[in-house]
Amino acid sequence: MPNNNNIPKIMVCLGTGGIAAGAQEVLTAFSEELERHRISGQLGSRPCSAKQTGCRGLCALDVLVDIYVPGLGTHTYSMVTPEMAPEIVERHILGQTPVEKWLAPPAYHQFHDKQQRLVMAHCGIIDPEDINDYLAVGGYTALPKALAMEPVKVLEEVKKSGLRGRGGAGFSTGLKWQICRQAAGEQKYIICNADEGDPGAFMDRSVLEGDPHVVLEGMLIGAYAIGANKGYIYCRAEYPLALKRLRIAMDQARQRNLLGDNILGADFCFDIKLKEGAGAFVCGEETALMVSIEGNRGMPRPRPPFPAQRGLWNNPTNINNVETWANIPVIIRNGGDWFAGAGTQKSKGTKIFALTGNIKNTGLIEVPMGITLREIVKDIGGGIPKRKKFKAAQLGGPSGGCIPAHLMDTPIDYDSLVSAGAIMGSGGVVIMDSSTCMVDMARYFLTFTQNESCGKCVPCRVGAKRMLEILQRITAGEGKPSDIDLLCEMAQEIKKTSLCGLGQTAPNPVLSTIRYFKDEYEAHINDKICPVGCCPSLIRFTVNDDLCKACGLCAKECPAGAISGGAKKVPAAIDKDKCTKCRACIEVCPFTAIY
């Protein structure tokens, strides 16, 4: 809790999710209510104000509001609207009695029980646009501690922590820094990769929106250890709130002599430029990102040489993603050994995941490495809604792989996921239930990566397109028995011969779904059916006369007029020539008579 714990506080989640749910209006309503009661400056002899914070994680319950009153502690309200502000202020702030009916449900607390927040410790607590809030929770204390150490000692502390890059590859952060430090060249750069492009991923965005200074402090420490005096943050333009708060944080840091020349009076100079990306997924690949910063079209370069040896403008360059940099102040402040106490033997610390898809509690979580997928889905995520069953989880974004239900006890760490056919990636977790067609899911993700290919190398440009055409044929009911073997053969060749990580990992969703759900591919190809009724070309809608109660709801709902009967005790009937397969009849039928 920042500032004085004797001061009452109203904290409103103004991350992107909160704003979309109406958080700005909620914040305004609380501020106006405090003014109306003439307590916006004082509550008795104590100041009281409403302020913005970053994302708290459980986006499904936005707008989230924390009320802290001395003696009562902190209470969280969920799904808050402006109309609720008067009663909350009168009863909770003035009357010292929380409004029970609007408090966050048990699911909110269950969501946080197994989390361990290191990177996101201050998200949802501090005002991300106020450097004083960051300073009040210990911000910028790791930097002077690092400046009092020899650069190589800072580097060794990071190596001791066991931190691995959180951007996907999982390479040792300390070793990466060491290679860059030892590389020949007077000019060295560091880069923060904030070009987060995976569908359903919002980890880096939320950290930048909720605690931008922790990233700046991490970069400062990294620059000192490596010997760099210039840095870049490459953030996609589709993140306007993150960019706004980054700019504010950078200006505040310069005003406090935390960026620029002779930082904190030391013989250390470092400044950061903010580069907006145009949204190309391939620019998340480090060499393409550097090409983009240099002012050219973002296309990957062959490696080696690696960026740490010859990167931005042919100078040694160290690139880490947002989450990796945000771990650095925690490590320096508490020590590498302390950090290594969390996680597993080969995967230290915590990991942030964006939990999306068919799950009750969608949002952002930070958990210790080694937690199982079962714990994430059932204990944190609250399980699968509508009494459906868990089928699989896609980890690592469109370049990752799926983990099926029988592997739910797989530990979430770098090596275990690779063994299971997935990757950690940047941290996207898409949950799929029993209604998901795994062939269609593979087609969806391959469509994304094929569209985002820069086209520089033939295996990715042509090979991924050919694979996608085969998947499109299969989901249209035109697949051939030889297609499965052909997909596997093409996937392996594309992985071996593509120039960059995008092409090398693009076939992963196809390979993992064939590995665990080959029967669904065979049903599409041999039986010309989609087992879960997802692929439109393979669907036929039928009415079960024994279940139909002739209520007429389906006929009224059908936009194509394809349903006759359904009233006056006559069971419904579907004209298959008129049916557009929109599923409206299935959704409205209260007797599950349409299948």
Residue 233 lies in a domain: yes
| Chosen domain end from 527, 551, 579 | 527
Residue 119 lies in a domain: no
Phi/psi for 232 (5° steps) reads -130, 145
Decide: 272 and 260 in contact? Cβ < 8 Å. no
Domain of 388, CATH number, reads 3.10.20.600
CA 184 to chain centroid, in Å, comes to 36
Domain of 191, CATH number, reads 3.40.50.11540
Question: Does residue 428 share a domain with residue 465?
Answer: no
Question: Does residue 464 share a domain with residue 505?
Answer: yes
- Which pairing describes strands 317-321 and 271-277: parallel, antiparallel, or unpaired? unpaired
Question: Does residue 429 share a domain with residue 443?
Answer: no
Residue 519 lies in a domain: yes
Residue 4 lies in a domain: no
Domain of 474, CATH number, reads 1.20.1440.230
Question: Does residue 497 share a domain with residue 395?
Answer: no
Question: Does residue 203 share a domain with residue 323?
Answer: yes
Question: Does residue 300 share a domain with residue 177?
Answer: yes
Question: Does residue 362 share a domain with residue 497?
Answer: no
Question: Tens-of-pLDDT digits for all 595 residues of the chain?
Answer: 455 567 788 999 999 999 999 999 999 999 999 888 876 554 444 467 899 999 999 988 999 999 999 889 999 999 999 999 999 999 999 899 999 999 999 999 999 999 999 999 999 999 999 999 999 999 999 999 999 999 999 999 999 999 999 987 789 999 999 999 999 999 999 999 999 888 878 899 999 999 999 999 999 999 999 999 999 999 999 999 999 999 999 999 999 999 999 999 999 999 999 999 988 889 888 999 999 999 999 999 988 899 999 999 999 999 999 999 999 999 999 999 999 999 999 999 999 999 999 999 999 999 999 999 999 999 999 999 988 999 999 998 888 899 999 999 999 999 999 999 888 888 889 999 999 999 999 999 999 999 888 889 999 999 999 999 999 999 999 999 999 999 999 999 999 999 988 889 899 999 999 999 999 999 999 999 999 888 888 888 888 888 888 888 888 889 999 888 767 778 888 888 888 888 888 888 988 888 8
Question: Does residue 282 share a domain with residue 141?
Answer: yes
Question: Does residue 425 share a domain with residue 378?
Answer: yes
Residue 391 lies in a domain: yes
Per-residue 3-state assignment (H helix, E strand, C coil) for 306-326:
CCCCCCHHHCCEEEEEHHHHH
As beta bridge partners, residue 390 has 433
Residue 345 lies in a domain: no
Residue 259 lies in a domain: yes
Domains held by the chain: number: 5
| Chosen domain end from 68, 90, 105 | 105
CA distance 74 to 68: 4
Predicted TM-score (pTM) of the model is 0.90
Question: Does residue 199 share a domain with residue 65?
Answer: no
Question: Does residue 252 share a domain with residue 179?
Answer: yes
Question: Does residue 138 share a domain with residue 18?
Answer: no
Residue 117 lies in a domain: no
Domain span at residue 292 reads 131-340
**How buried is 129 (Cβ within 10 angstroms: 0-12 exposed, 13-18 middle, 19+ buried)?**
middle
